[in-house]
A and B are shown apart, each in its own frame.
Chain A
Amino acid sequence: ILNVEQSPQSLHVQEGDSTNFTCSFPSSNFYALHWYRWETAKSPEALFVMTLNGDEKKKGRISATLNTKEGYSYLYIKGSQPEDSATYLCAFNSGSARQLTFGSGTQLTVLP
């Protein structure tokens, strides 16, 4: 059984604050780590797919890092805006499975 853990479960920040979330995953048999943003009534939106240890990816104010040896990834949001409010999901792909194993998500609320 693969365990993917995310913390915190929920987070409220003020507009302009920077924040970060953690995703931990099995360090063995790693293939890829995915981050998604899921807003209510919309499709989960792919943010990043990360495959190499030490990977750092950036999209606008959002960035992510990956440590496959210790089994964790961080997602950072710089200068949070109300439109960043969503559930952020990470998902792990092992080398032996095509499907994704998801964490339970971090629900972010950015207060104006």
Chain B
Amino acid sequence: DTGVSQDPRHKITKRGQNVTFRCDPISEHNRLYWYRQTLGQGPEFLTYFQNEAQLEKSRLLSDRFSAERPKGSFSTLEIQRTEQGDSAMYLCASTGSYEQYFGPGTRLTVT
């Protein structure tokens, strides 16, 4: 296993369109996290899964955002009706214990 992967790496979309990102965690990790990072800030927590169960969601995760981890393996993050304020780097991380291992992120630009 080569680590956490994310797809796509870059996404440019027009305001109002829907986008979906995918995260493939390290295979034996049962916890998976989504974070969002905007310019000049550190990553901010969005949501996390233990296996297939979504256990916590940040207040940053508006009703336009939805995340799934259907079989406790890969996860998807969907943003509906994108807004310019959604432009950010979306990071995924997985862990089996203390240390969270991050993917390279998906950079979203909403025009």
Say whether, besides A32-B98, A46-B101, A51-B98, A99 and B42 are in contact (CB < 8 Å).
no
Interface residues of B in 83-111 (CB under 8 A from A): 91, 98-105
Say whether, besides A42-B104, A43-B105, A101 and B45 are in contact (CB < 8 Å).
yes
Tell whether, in the assembled complex, residue B40 and residue A104 are in contact, meaning their CB atoms are under 8 Å apart.
yes
Residues of A within 8 A of B48 (CB): 98-99
Question: Cβ of A49 < 8 Å from any Cβ of B?
Answer: yes
Residues of A within 8 A of B42 (CB): 4, 6, 89, 91, 102-105
Tell whether, in the assembled complex, residue B100 and residue A46 are in contact, meaning their CB atoms are under 8 Å apart.
yes
* Distance of A6 Cα from B91 Cα, bound (Å): 20
Tell whether, in the assembled complex, residue B102 and residue A43 are in contact, meaning their CB atoms are under 8 Å apart.
yes
* Distance of A105 Cα from B53 Cα, bound (Å): 31
| Nearest-neighbor residue (CB-CB) of A31 within chain B | B98
The A-B contact count (CB < 8 A) is 55
Tell whether, in the assembled complex, residue B33 and residue A99 are in contact, meaning their CB atoms are under 8 Å apart.
yes
Residues of A within 8 A of B104 (CB): 41-43
Contact with B along A58-100 (1 / 0, CB 8 A): 0000000000000000000000000000000101010001111
| Nearest-neighbor residue (CB-CB) of A6 within chain B | B42
| Nearest-neighbor residue (CB-CB) of B33 within chain A | A99
| CB pairs A–B below 8 angstroms (23 shown) | A32-B98, A34-B100, A41-B104, A43-B4, A43-B101, A43-B103, A43-B104, A43-B105, A44-B43, A46-B99, A46-B101, A49-B98, A89-B42, A91-B42, A93-B98, A97-B56, A98-B48, A98-B55, A99-B33, A99-B45, A99-B48, A100-B35, A100-B45
Residues in chain B within 8 A of chain A (CB atoms): 3-4, 31, 33, 35, 40-45, 48, 55-56, 91, 98-105
- 11 additional contacts, CB 8 Å, given A46-B99, A104-B42? A32-B98, A34-B100, A43-B4, A44-B91, A46-B101, A98-B48, A99-B56, A100-B33, A100-B100, A102-B43, A105-B42
Nearest 5 CB-CB pairs, A to B?
A102-B42, A99-B45, A44-B102, A43-B104, A43-B102
